[in-house]
A and B are shown apart, each in its own frame.
Chain A
Amino acid sequence: MSINTAPSSPPDQTSSSAPADAASHDHAKFNNPIRLPISISLTINDAPNNSSTNNGGVSGLGILPSRTATSLAMMNNAVAATATTAVAVEANAAPAVNTTKSIRHFIYPPNQVNQADFSLDIHLPPNTSLPERIDQFTLRRRMDKHGLFSIRLTPFIDTSSSSVANQGLFFDPIIRTAGAGSQIIIGRYTERVREAISKIPDQYHPVVFKSKVISRTHGCFKVDDQGNWLLKDVKSSSGTFLNHQRLSSASTISNDHLLHDGDIIQLGMDFRGGTEEIYRCVKMKIELNKSWKLKANAFNKEALNRIKNLQKLTTGLEQEDCSICLNKIKPCQAIFISPCAHSWHFHCVRRLVIMSYPQFMCPNCRSNCDLETTLESESESDSESENENEDEPDIEMDVDMEINNNLGVRLVD
Chain B
Amino acid sequence: MASLPKRIIKETEKLVSDPVPGITAEPHDDNLRYFQVTIEGPEQSPYEDGVFELELYLPDDYPMEAPKVRFLTRIYHPNIDRLGRICLDVLKTNWSPALQIRTVLLSIQALLASPNPNDPLANDVAEDWIKNEEGAKAKAREWTRSFAKKKPE
Contacts and interface: CB of A to CB of B under 8 A. Distances in A.
A148 to B, nearest CB: 24
A352 B64 CA distance: 8
B96 A325 contact: no
Contacts of A363: 96-99
A308 interface: no
Interface residues of A, number: 13
Contact of B7 (A325, A352, A361): A325
Interface string A316-332: 00000001111100000
A324 B61 CA distance: 12
B63 interface: yes
B28 interface: no
A366 B10 CA distance: 24
A346 to B, nearest CB: 14
Given A363-B97, A366-B96, A324 B6 contact: no
A327 B6 contact: yes
A397 B130 CA distance: 48
A278 B96 CA distance: 40
B11 interface: yes
What's the dominant secondary structure at chain B's contact region? loop
Nearest to A325: B7
A199 interface: no
Interface in A297-334: 323-327
Interface string B58-100: 0000011000000000000000000000000000001011110
Contacts of B96: 361, 363-364, 366
A351 B64 contact: yes
A12 B113 CA distance: 76
Nearest to B89: A406
A36 B93 CA distance: 50
Contacts of A323: 97-98
A352 B97 contact: yes
Max chain A C-beta neighbours (<10 A), residue from B7, B64, B98: B98
Contacts of B99: 363
A324 B97 CA distance: 6
A406 B96 CA distance: 12
A325 B6 CA distance: 8
A326 B103 CA distance: 14
Contacts of B94: 406
Nearest to A365: B98
Contacts of B98: 323-324, 363-364
Contacts of B97: 323-324, 348, 352, 363
A323 B11 CA distance: 12
Contacts of B11: 326
Interface of B: 6-7, 10-11, 63-64, 94, 96-99
Given A323-B97, A326-B10, A326-B11, 16 more contacts: A323-B98, A324-B63, A324-B97, A324-B98, A325-B6, A326-B7, A327-B6, A348-B97, A351-B64, A352-B64, A352-B97, A361-B96, A363-B96, A363-B97, A363-B99, A366-B96
21 contacts: A323-B97, A323-B98, A324-B7, A324-B63, A324-B97, A325-B6, A325-B7, A326-B10, A326-B11, A327-B6, A327-B10, A348-B97, A352-B64, A352-B97, A363-B96, A363-B97, A363-B98, A363-B99, A364-B96, A366-B96, A406-B94
Question: Which 8 pairs show the lowest CB-CB distances between chains A and B?
Answer: A323-B98, A363-B96, A363-B98, A364-B98, A326-B10, A324-B97, A326-B7, A363-B97
